[in-house]
């Protein structure tokens, strides 16, 4: 159920094991998130994997077992050998893209491989319910009142992110009805918003930063691109820490605190650059390290007159400015929600899934994979890696379910 990244991969490997496979997809073609990923280029995988960067409320040990079941190098080889897609590393971001830079090549290649392996694709096939039958079999009931009685069901219908691609949370609802524990879901890897202020006047300005989000219960730090938007902030660094901010809204302890180091310069570097000497303007020194418009706003935030020279800068002003430049507080008020979220945080507790096969520990011959599970990673191919790995395991597990 679901012809996204995890579902197509599950169909490929189930069919490869000799199972008769029907791939049900509520949209006409499937794979819509693949098509829009990486700006239409499809960041297939990370160039290097750091397991500690995954986020889960379930057992980290179980998560590691799942990820290690299909190592990164073997996944790279799969795309190269099975789909004929050479993967190229984008050096500055450590991401792997198809050499063609076409997400459609990835989606179409996967669907074509599933067909060659013997899987049958049915588009515009919305599922209304999944019912257990005798002998651990299942009945899948479609919206048109037709049904399929099957030996095993793989639920790969995604989470709640980017609903325009067909994600509606049905798999999460189904898992809950079947008794699975669902960790609270929330939009992850989503842009943050802020009320109209000097910061919203910077829309279009972008730069690399180090950003930290700290709440009462957790923290995260990311280094990467940062973009000011008309509504707030986006870019990889923002998306990678956004889960801390989003989750903090649900707690009485208050919103998470965001702090930013706006350049590669350390506090000592800035202390040397801002020494009281000569007639150079303070804003002139800042412009060497950050964009002009941002320099003006940072001086405003630090309470420093931009027309001052270094010689006129008082000690307390210098200290306030250095603090703003290296660990200044960034105001925020909300987030863009599931509409712009790259992935869904939370989901089915990993303790209720066999990490070798992705079979439910509550129901025989029910397999769960992909975004509906309680795990996600940062920007950079981690979430596709999770989809490929869990989809493969579910496909192989389902094909051998009754052995």
Mean pLDDT of the chain: 96
Cα(369)–Cα(46) distance, integer angstroms: 20
Q: Which helix (H) or strand (E) holds 394?
A: helix 382-399
Write the pLDDT tens digit of every residue in 63-80.
999 999 999 999 999 999
Write the pLDDT tens digit of every residue in 17-60.
999 999 999 999 999 999 999 999 999 999 999 999 999 999 99
- E strand intervals along 91-155: 95-98, 120-122, 127-132, 138-142, 147-150, 153-155
Q: Is 381 left (phi over 0), alpha (psi -120 to 50) or beta?
A: left
Predicted pLDDT at 254: 86
Q: Which helix (H) or strand (E) holds 213?
A: strand 206-214
Helices (H) and strands (E) in the chain, counts: 12, 19
- State how far the alpha carbon of 228 is from the alpha carbons of 116, 163, 182, 225, 242, in Å: 46, 24, 34, 10, 15
Task: Answer whether residue 89 shows pLDDT above 80.
Answer: yes
In the predicted model, what is the mean pLDDT of residues 196-208?
A: 95
In the predicted model, what is the mean pLDDT of residues 310-339?
A: 96
Band of the pLDDT at 12, cuts 50, 70, 90? very high
Q: Do residues 205 and 233 make contact, with C-beta atoms less than 8 angstroms apart? A: no
Percent of the chain with pLDDT over 70: 100
Band of the pLDDT at 252, cuts 50, 70, 90? low
Report the predicted TM-score, pTM, of the whole model to 2 decimal places. 0.95
- State how far the alpha carbon of 94 is from the alpha carbons of 44, 46, 382, in Å: 12, 6, 11
User: Domains along the chain?
Assistant: 5-186+345-399 (3.50.50.60), 191-336 (no CATH)
The DSSP bridge pattern shows strands 147-150 and 182-188 to be: unpaired
In the predicted model, what is the mean pLDDT of residues 343-367?
A: 98
In the predicted model, what is the mean pLDDT of residues 316-337?
A: 97
Task: Answer whether residue 372 shows pLDDT above 90.
Answer: yes
Band of the pLDDT at 251, cuts 50, 70, 90? confident
Predicted pLDDT at 250: 81
Please state which of the ranges 89-93, 116-120, 174-178, 289-293 shows the lowest mean pLDDT. Answer: 89-93
In the predicted model, what is the mean pLDDT of residues 335-342?
A: 96
Predicted pLDDT at 392: 98
Predicted pLDDT at 242: 98
Predicted pLDDT at 354: 97
Percent of the chain with pLDDT over 90: 92
244 φ, ψ (degrees, to nearest 5):
-65, -45
In the predicted model, what is the mean pLDDT of residues 296-314?
A: 94
Task: Answer whether residue 355 shows pLDDT above 90.
Answer: yes
Predicted pLDDT at 277: 76
Predicted pLDDT at 56: 97
In the predicted model, what is the mean pLDDT of residues 130-157?
A: 97
167, two tokens: 């994600």
């Amino acid at each position: 159920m679901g012809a996204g990244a995890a579902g197509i991969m599950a169909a490929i490997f189930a069919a490869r094991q000799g199972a008769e496979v029907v791939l049900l997809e509520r949209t006409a073609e499937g794979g819509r998130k693949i098509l829009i990923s990486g700006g239409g280029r499809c960041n297939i995988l990370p160039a290097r994997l750091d397991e500690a960067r995954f986020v889960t409320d379930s057992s980290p040990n179980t998560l590691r077992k799942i990820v290690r079941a299909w190592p990164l190098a073997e996944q790279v080889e799969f795309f190269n050998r099975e789909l004929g897609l050479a993967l190229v590393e984008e050096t500055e971001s450590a991401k792997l893209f198809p050499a063609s830079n076409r997400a459609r090549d990835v989606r179409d290649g996967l669907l074509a491989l599933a067909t060659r392996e013997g899987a049958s694709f049915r588009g515009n096939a919305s599922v209304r319910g999944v019912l257990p039958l005798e002998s651990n079999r299942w009945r899948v009931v479609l919206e048109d009142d037709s049904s399929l009685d099957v030996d095993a069901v793989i639920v790969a219908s995604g989470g709640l992110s980017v609903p325009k691609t067909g994600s509606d949370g049905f798999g999460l609802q189904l898992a809950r009805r079947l008794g699975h524990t669902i960790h609270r879901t929330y939009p992850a890897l989503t842009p943050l918003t802020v009320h109209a202020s000097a910061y919203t006047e910077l829309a279009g300005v972008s730069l690399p930063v180090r950003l930290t989000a700290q709440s009462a219960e957790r923290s995260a730090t990311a280094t990467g691109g940062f973009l000011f938007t008309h509504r707030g902030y986006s870019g990889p660094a923002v998306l990678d820490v956004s889960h801390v901010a989003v989750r903090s809204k649900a707690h009485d302890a208050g919103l998470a605190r965001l702090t930013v180091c706006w350049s590669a310069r350390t506090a000592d570097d800035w202390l040397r650059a801002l020494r009281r000497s000569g007639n150079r303007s303070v804003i002139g020194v800042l412009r060497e390290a950050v964009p002009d418009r941002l320099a003006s706003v940072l001086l405003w935030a630090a309470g420093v007159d931009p027309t001052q020279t270094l010689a006129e800068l008082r000690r307390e002003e210098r200290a306030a400015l250095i603090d703003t430049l290296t660990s200044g507080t960034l105001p925020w008020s909300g987030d863009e929600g599931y509409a712009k979220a790259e992935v869904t945080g939370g989901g089915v507790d990993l303790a209720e899934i066999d990490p070798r096969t992705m079979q439910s520990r509550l129901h025989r011959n029910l397999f769960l994979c992909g975004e509906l599970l309680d795990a996600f990673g940062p920007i950079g191919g981690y979430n596709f890696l999770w989809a490929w790995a869990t989809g493969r395991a579910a496909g192989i597990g389902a094909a051998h379910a009754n052995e």
